[in-house]
Amino acid sequence: MSLTFEPNIESPDDFYELLTDAQRDLSDEDANDMNARLVLILANQVGSLADLKMAIEAAK
């Protein structure tokens, strides 16, 4: 298993601002659509089906 739950995000506050600012002017529906795309992009980066399964379980 390579999925990590330990802190790994570079500059957490910078990341969080980037993420929320990207949706600041979006409607709820547009933000949800963007989140779906974002999940798929990041899932591709993770790659491993076992890791993705683990992530899905953790997020449930």
Partner 1 sequence: MLNTYDFPEFAYVQSEEQKTGNPVRHTVIVVGAGPVGLTAALDFAAQGLNVVVLDDNNTVSVGSRAVCYAKRPLEIWDRLGVGARMIDKGVGWKLGRVFLRDEEVYTFDLLPEDGHKIPAFINLQQYYLEEYMVEACEKSPHIDLRWKHKVVSLHQHDDHVELAVETPDGIFTMEAGWLLACDGANSDVRRMVGAEFTGQFFQDRFLIADIVMKADFPTERWFWFDPDFHRGQSALLHKQSDDVWRLDFQLGWDSDPEVEKRPENIIPRVKAMIGDDVEFELEWASVYQFACRRIDQFRHGRVLFAGDAAHQVSPFGARGANTGVQDIDNLSWKLAAVVKGDAPLALLDTYHGERAYAADDNLLNSTRSTDFITPKNGASKRFRNAVLSLAKTAPFARPLVNSGRLSTPTPYLDSPLNTPDDGEWNGKMRPGTCAADAPISVDGRPGWFLDLLTGGFALLALGVAAEPVDAGAFSPKLIALGTDFDDPDGLVSTRYDAGGGALYLIRPDQHVAARWRNFDAEAVKAAISRATAGAIR
Name the site residues for partner 1 (rule: CB under 8 A): 4-9, 12-13, 15-17, 19-20, 23-24, 26, 28, 31-32, 35, 58-59
Distance CA 15, CA 50 (A): 26
Structure tokens at 45: 């980066």
Distance CA 30, CA 14 (A): 23
Nearer to partner 1, 24 or 41 (CB): 24
Shortest reach from residue 6's CB to partner 1, in Å: 5
Nearer to partner 1, 40 or 58 (CB): 58
Question: Position 31: which residue type?
Answer: A
